[in-house]
A and B are shown apart, each in its own frame.
Chain A
Amino acid sequence: MPTAISLRGLSKHFGQVRAVDELDLDIADGEFFSMLGPSGSGKTTVLRLIAGFEEPTAGVIMLGEEAVTRRPPFARDVNTVFQDYAIFPHMSVRENVEYGLRVKKVGRPDRRRRAEEALETVRLAGYADRRPHQLSGGQRQRVALARALVNRPRVLLLDEPLGALDLQLRREMQIELKEIQREVGITFVFVTHDQEEALTMSDRIAVFNEGRIEQLASPVELYERPASAFVAGFVGTSNLLQGRVARDLLGQDGTFVIRPEKLQMVAEAPAEAGRVSAPGVVREVVYLGAATLSVVELDAGPTVTVSHQNTDTSIDAALERRDQRVVVTWRRDHLVSLGSSDPAASPEEETA
């Protein structure tokens, strides 16, 4: 598959801070690509570099076959959906959506037709004559999307576009955005700090930390096979077993992670091959609706979180487990090894 964007050795320094540090990245044509990371991890800077709002300190940005590294934003075939939408307040919805075509001297009838189409794509047909201040947050977000899509760019950049919406609307828009992306077939590069958002929509996700990519993988791989403790901690919840604990419980050196839903609480250790069991005391029970989280302090030292689907109508049994002794058990092949732990770290500090 041809690449839409290639970044080679891309760096951006702000004074002493390396916001983006020697990044290499290829994004395929038609892909829904997410850049996930905490604030300050460099993901937004990468987006702004691709859009042309920042000039890189070093490195090359290729858009298809063209090097666009030093080109101004208006000479790049990418469009951006801004975090604050940046809908022009002195223009109607139609004028906003037509703007890109207008400055490219597309004729009025053609312009109008394409704007109508774009508004239809984002489910805003009939809103063309509204003023921006008459729209809700979700509608503004759709106008911003239509305004970018109408230009049929090679790549659409989205800078945390759902951040300002309430949870319900955000969930709806996640599904809709994915549908729209499939419909138009444009490469989407989506920046978010919300791991759930990234997992829901993306074909591939790059997890950013301190200006570098920690892991680049599909959502399933990212969740099931995190490459580092940072990824394991940032994408979903995970239990970390390392050092002495790993040796005692697993008979193996190294750092291991296991997801809460892979753990089970039972009364007695099952005598089953390929299972690991560890006794402990339930310290906290958190009811989450669909699931219940139990925090268990293992006798071996670490505290682990166990997730349990609430398939019964009553969760009284789970709630009553507080301060009870239980055995936590899991399948050995559900453990993900992060490689051997740093030998320099002192054993005392290695418990999770």
Chain B
Amino acid sequence: MATSSSRSIAMSRGLRRSLGGFTVLVLAVVYVPLLLVLINSFNTDNTFGWPPPGFTLHWWKVAAESSGARDALVTSVEVALCATAVALVLGTLAAMGLRRTRFFGRNAISLLIILPIALPGIVTGLAFQNGFRTILGVQLSIWTIVIAHATFCIVTVFNNVQARFQRLGASYEQASMDLGAGRWTTFRLITFPMLRSSLLAGALLSFGLSFDEIVVTTFTASSQDQTLPIWILQNLFRPNQAPVVNVVAAVLVIASAVPIYLAQRLSGSTAEGLTGAR
């Protein structure tokens, strides 16, 4: 008995070790290139010679002074903030609407809300361009980007809020109403405070999704509205801009890592926090 159990422990230890090695390998494949971007942003050689002949903050200074990059950043932040705001309101309302009532078509509606996150961006983008320009006759602007982004940003909020509702059950709200609080007071004092962290997690994910979105944005932005990812794409192949692009990319990596990290911390469980992150 003793030998067999110790053997099984030894085997699982070997298995654990190889799994660990595999994990490290996969993570390296994902993150080493990102690290390269970060290091190259300090590379003195503007063709990214390897190993770097020296390190400089020059490109960071150039990037900071580039008005194109700055404007693109402002546009991206504006779009992401607006899309997130829309997603927060609509996503929460949708989750509340689909909460306890079972009505015909409930699952279909739930699927329709979640679907945009799985749709290929190019399809969404084309559909919106068609819809805005040909059918509605609306000029493309920052608002058309916001609307297009909001369709998939809603999903992160919806999923987070729905998961929270499921975990909470209905008894807290029933207790509140039982104690004399009307529906609005119950929402203000009980439901909202209990949703707060899941809303924040959903909002951060939504912000991250919108901020780095490129395909849908390409189709729904006018030629004047450049978001940061589009600016990067357009400047990538201009030789004298390449180092600046590197700096912007490095900033983006850091800027998107922070919200995801915070979202994970806030939602308490990894699964819930990342549901809907694509």
Q: Which stretch of B73-81, B141-149, B187-195, B210-218 is in the interface?
A: B187-195
Residues of chain A with a CB closer than 8 A to B175's CB: 80, 82, 86, 88
Q: Is the CB of A86 within 8 A of B194?
A: no
Q: Is the CB of A82 within 8 A of B171?
A: yes
Whether B180 sits at the interface, judged by CB under 8 Å, is yes
Q: Mark B172-200, 1 if CB is under 8 A from A, else 0.
A: 10111111111001000110011000000
Expressed in whole angstroms, the Cα–Cα distance for A274 and B51 within the complex equals 111
Q: Is the CB of A147 within 8 A of B179?
A: yes
Q: Mark A58-101, 1 if CB is under 8 A from B, else 0.
A: 00000000000000111000111010101011100000000110
Smallest Cβ-Cβ distance to A80: which chain B residue: B178
Count A interface residues, CB 8 Å.
22
Within the complex, the shortest CB–CB distance from B168 to chain A, in Å, comes to 9
Q: Is the CB of B174 within 8 A of A86?
A: yes
Residues of chain A with a CB closer than 8 A to B194's CB: 89-90
Expressed in whole angstroms, the Cα–Cα distance for A147 and B179 within the complex equals 8
Residues of chain A with a CB closer than 8 A to B190's CB: 88
Residues of chain B with a CB closer than 8 A to A72's CB: 177
Smallest Cβ-Cβ distance to B196: which chain A residue: A90
Q: Is the CB of A73 within 8 A of B178?
A: yes
Residues of chain A with a CB closer than 8 A to B189's CB: 99, 103
Knowing A90-B194, A103-B185, the reply to whether A84 touches B180 (Cβ < 8 A) is: no
Expressed in whole angstroms, the Cα–Cα distance for A82 and B173 within the complex equals 12
Q: Is the CB of A84 within 8 A of B171?
A: yes
Expressed in whole angstroms, the Cα–Cα distance for A74 and B185 within the complex equals 11
Whether A287 sits at the interface, judged by CB under 8 Å, is no
Expressed in whole angstroms, the Cα–Cα distance for A11 and B182 within the complex equals 26
Max count, chain A CB within 10 A of own CB: residue among B171, B172, B174, B175: B175
Q: Is the CB of A99 within 8 A of B176?
A: yes
Residues of chain A with a CB closer than 8 A to B182's CB: 74, 103
Main DSSP-derived SS at the B contact region? helix
Max count, chain B CB within 10 A of own CB: residue among A72, A78, A82, A86: A86
Residues of chain B with a CB closer than 8 A to A79's CB: 178-179
Q: Is the CB of B178 within 8 A of A51?
A: yes
Sorting the interface of chain B by its residue count into under 10, 10 to 19, 20 to 34 or 35 or more gives 10 to 19
Q: For chains A and B in complex, what number of residue pairs have CB atoms within 8 angstroms?
A: 55
Residues of chain A with a CB closer than 8 A to B181's CB: 74, 99, 103
Q: Is the CB of A88 within 8 A of B178?
A: no
Max count, chain A CB within 10 A of own CB: residue among B174, B177, B180: B180
Residues of chain B with a CB closer than 8 A to A104's CB: 180
Residues of chain B with a CB closer than 8 A to A73's CB: 174, 177-178
Smallest Cβ-Cβ distance to B193: which chain A residue: A90
Residues of chain A with a CB closer than 8 A to B172's CB: 86, 88
Whether A195 sits at the interface, judged by CB under 8 Å, is no
Expressed in whole angstroms, the Cα–Cα distance for A57 and B176 within the complex equals 24
Residues of chain B with a CB closer than 8 A to A86's CB: 171-172, 174-175
Knowing A103-B185, A103-B189, the reply to whether A151 touches B171 (Cβ < 8 A) is: no
Residues of chain B with a CB closer than 8 A to A80's CB: 174-175, 178
Query: A74-B180, A74-B181 are known contacts; what are 15 more A-B pairs with Cβ within 8 Å?
Result: A52-B178, A73-B177, A74-B178, A74-B179, A80-B174, A84-B171, A86-B174, A88-B176, A88-B190, A90-B193, A99-B176, A103-B176, A103-B180, A103-B181, A147-B179
Q: Is the CB of B178 within 8 A of A103?
A: no
Whether A230 sits at the interface, judged by CB under 8 Å, is no
Within the complex, the shortest CB–CB distance from B188 to chain A, in Å, comes to 10
Q: Is the CB of B179 within 8 A of A103?
A: yes
Within the complex, the shortest CB–CB distance from B246 to chain A, in Å, comes to 45
Expressed in whole angstroms, the Cα–Cα distance for A220 and B194 within the complex equals 47
Expressed in whole angstroms, the Cα–Cα distance for A50 and B182 within the complex equals 17
Knowing A88-B190, A90-B193, A103-B189, the reply to whether A151 touches B179 (Cβ < 8 A) is: yes
Smallest Cβ-Cβ distance to B169: which chain A residue: A84
Expressed in whole angstroms, the Cα–Cα distance for A250 and B166 within the complex equals 59
Expressed in whole angstroms, the Cα–Cα distance for A86 and B177 within the complex equals 12
Smallest Cβ-Cβ distance to B190: which chain A residue: A88
Residues of chain A with a CB closer than 8 A to B177's CB: 52, 72-74
